[in-house]
Amino acid sequence: MQLMCPVSSIAAAKMFAKIGVGEIYVGVDCNDLGLNNVTFTGRTRVLCSGESVQLSDFSELKEVVDICHSKNIKVNFTANVRNLPEALIDEYIQYVEKGIHAGVDAVIVGSIVALIALKDRYDIQLHSSTFFYPFNKYNVDFFHFFDIKRIILPTALSLVEIKQIVDYIAEKNYDMEVEVFGHFGCSNINGRCNIFNNPPSICRGQFQVYDKSKNNIKSSVNIIDAGKDCTICSLKELNDIGITSLKIMGRGLSLQLVGTLASLYQEALYHLSNGMETSEIRSKLLERANWWENSYCNDNRCMYLDTETSKYYV
Amino acid sequence: MKMELRLCNIEKLDTWLNSEFDIISIGDEYCPWKLLSIENVKGVVEKIIASGKELIIVTSFVASAAFEKIINIIKDAKAVSDKIKYVINDYGLLVYLKDNKILSKNIIVGQMLNHSLEEYLWSEDVVKEETKKVKNNWLMSNYSSSRVIDFFMREFNIEGVIFNKLPYNQEGARIAKRCGCSIYFMDKYYTMAVARKCHAAKYNNLCPGHGCDKLCNKPLLGSLEKIYTIDNMSQKFVIPTEDVLEKTKNWIIFGNAVYKEYPYPLILKYSDYTDDMVIIMSQKYYDNDIEINMVVSSYKEGGIICN
């Protein structure tokens, strides 16, 4: 199982190369394709915070690819816009072709329009984004039809459900890898959320809740919060299940934060590969990052484990 | 035009079987337990079919615990009548039904699969600096595409798609209609966000699937007070800007989904569509039966529809 990290600058690529991650994901600004703030990358060009979340042009992408490939790091290209308009297919195809030309190893697709348009078009790995939210194993058959080589799972699954999906791929003998989120998860289903602002912000916010008659008012209720962030205590199980890639989410987050997370997870994976037990991996991490327990453990932000939140999964 | 009533409560089924509605639907697009919590679903199906009303069974995205049960409901219903239609909101379910020869027709694509950025809170801001071409297309839904509709008609024999009534969704519906699809419009509310966690169940401390069926018949309303931020490594809650507070007022929460009322009167011109267009009224969106009857009558009488 390899760690996959978000890159939105050359500095980020260099940082992750130094940390020794296995994969990165990266997109490119779409200004030269006639788009201004919107992009094909699954994010707008800048977030509400003003933070840029992709590279400025394809020459930067080429540089990132060279940096990564020199360290055997796989480059996943974000072409995972979740609603690709039919009228912009030509521009989207140009975007994907430029990415392939720059040498990326795989293209992440997030829209059903794009999936149909790219089927059998290029000799490159296609990955299906979590924007398709495959909650059961039979989704695998759907993506196999499109020759998808990697399926990216939603965060709101249990380890048992993840295993069912991985086992089904093996049972069907499909050539398909499975990627899961390793750190940071949204409250809502990715791809079916329209309240996203600066991550994670609104969904984890505190609400005043009331009924239609404005009775029974309760304040400061985190009613929509379902965010689960951490997989440190599930790394062994995810590895044993056969997960290929563990993704750190955070194209809009600070380099300091994602760099720290990448470094901590990379070390945890190193310990795991040397046979260290989960409790010891966690203890070592807490020694290095004393804020972790307060941020994640005390709030039960354990992504694939049974928690207060998963009790209420439909 | 036909009118569909999506029931959240089958206790009043007899009343609605004698109403102006052409179609009765049962289930929910985002939660499988709404369908699974109906006692004796087969009996309910038989009763609706016997009444002469059309029936639509609504399924959601389905995690493994509910998958087989949903399949069994579809099999049982199909045994009663081959005229029943099914809303599908999960590609895994769609492909399973085809591969196992359970369902090869009467399939309607739901709003979990057909969605758009038009529902996004900052959609207007996102596209305000775009060219006319991008502006006119970026907010279209993902089934507003002849490529997509043709694919799903050819591979899965879909016959309809559910849209909301927002302007770009209406444009998309025209495209789907031109491809030969039946069009369904959801009245009153559009979906903002769907989670796997049931907000209502957590609020009331009940587990989904265990006596939760009445919980989401009435909404909870929520208005944002503070947002959550990560400042370097520490987390905190802060009061958001006026813009954010304004956009996050009076959200409507049913079960695991958050909705908003359409922002202004939305007009559907009947002439743009055909006689088989369907307006879906979800029982739980309305305060009482009187309001439902008033709205359905106005739809039946009028040529222009507001909210």
Q: How far apart are CA B293 and CA B16, in angstroms?
A: 10
Asked if pLDDT for residue B271 goes beyond 90, the answer is no
Per-residue confidence at B306, pLDDT binned at 50, 70, 90? very low
Chain B within 8 Å of A90 (Cβ-Cβ)? no
* pLDDT tens, position by position, A114-164: 999 999 999 999 999 999 999 999 999 999 999 999 999 999 999 999 999
DSSP letter string, A1-70: -EEEEEESSHHHHHHHHHHT-SEEEE-B--GGGT-SS--SSSS-SB-TTS-B-SBSSHHHHHHHHHHHHH
- 8 Å CB contact of A156 and B197: yes
Cross-strand bridge partners of residue A2: A245
- pLDDT of residue A200 exceeding 70: no
Q: Is residue B244 part of a domain?
A: no
* Residue B254, in any domain of the structure: no
Chain A residues with CB-CB distance to B211 below 8 A: none
Looking at the partner chain, which of A88, A117, A310 has a beta carbon nearest the beta carbon of B137?
Answer: A88
Share of chain A above pLDDT 70, in %: 98
CA dist A267 and A261 (Å) reads: 10
Could you tell me the residue range of the domain that residue B91 belongs to? Answer: 2-197+261-301
Look at residue A272 and tell me whether its pLDDT is greater than 70.
yes
A11 touches chain B (CB under 8 A): no
| pLDDT (0 to 100) of residue A123 | 96
Q: What is the structure's pLDDT at B307?
A: 46
**Which value, in Å, is the radius of gyration of the alpha carbons in chain A?**
19
The token pair at A7 is 């890159």
**Could you tell me which of A263, A206, A258, A219 has the C-alpha nearest to residue A21?**
A263
In this predicted structure, the answer to whether residue A40 has a pLDDT above a threshold of 90 is: yes
By the 10 Å C-beta count (0-12 exposed, 13-18 middle, 19+ buried), A49 is classed as: middle
Residue-wise pLDDT tens digits, B184-229 = 999 999 999 999 999 999 999 999 988 888 888 889 999 999 998 8
Q: Give the pair of three-digit tokens for residue B263.
A: 């922002």
Chain A segment 62-81 residues within 8 A of B by beta carbon are: none
CATH topology classification for A2-185+228-304 = TIM Barrel (3.20.20)
Q: Is residue B139 part of a domain?
A: yes
Domain ranges of chain A: 2-185+228-304, 186-227
Cα–chain-centroid distance for residue B145?
19
B239 within domain boundaries: no
B9 pLDDT exceeds 90? no
Cβ–Cβ of B226/A206 closer than 8 Å? yes
A260 CB within 8 Å of a chain B CB: yes
DSSP for residue A134: -
Least Cα separation, residue B15 to chain A (angstroms): 25
ipTM: 0.96
Task: Compute the half-sphere exposure of residue B138: CA atoms within 13 Å on the CB side of its CA.
Answer: 26
Please list every residue in chain B whose beta carbon sits closer than 8 Å to the beta carbon of residue A194.
Answer: 117, 119-121, 123, 191-193
Residue B167 lies in a domain: yes
Tokens of A225: 């919060």
Q: Residue A250: its pLDDT value, please?
A: 87
Residue B94 lies in a domain: yes
Largest distance between two CA atoms of chain A: 63
Domain containing B285 — which CATH number?
A: 3.20.20.70
Backbone φ/ψ region at A185: left (φ over 0), alpha (ψ -120 to 50), beta? beta
CB A98 within 8 A of CB A48: no
pLDDT at A253: 83
Which of A40, A88, A190, A312 should we substitute to test contact with B (largest number of B Cβ atoms within 10 Å)?
A312
Nearest chain B Cα distance for residue A69, angstroms: 30
* A287-312 confidence digits (pLDDT tens): 999 999 998 999 899 999 999 999 99
Q: How many domains does chain B have?
A: 1
pLDDT classification of B231: cutoffs 50, 70, 90: low
Cβ distance A312 to B151 less than 8 Å, yes or no, reads no
Q: Would you say residue B276 has pLDDT above 80?
A: no
pLDDT of residue B264: 73
Mean pLDDT of chain B: 92
A chain contacts of residue B223, beta-carbon cutoff 8 Å: 207-208
Contact B176, B161 (CB under 8 A): yes
Residue numbers in A near B249 (CB within 8 A): none
- Reported as a pLDDT band with limits 50, 70 and 90, residue A49 is low
- The shortest CB-CB distance from B233 to any of A35, A193, A257 is to A257
- Poorest-pLDDT segment among A46-50, B57-61, B91-95: A46-50
Residue B236 pLDDT: 82
- The dihedral through the CA atoms of B66, B67, B68, B70 has a sign that is positive
Residue-wise pLDDT for B46-66, tens only, equals 999 999 999 999 999 999 999
Residue among B142, B233, B256 whose CB faces A314 most closely: B256
Q: Is the pLDDT score of B107 beyond 70?
A: yes
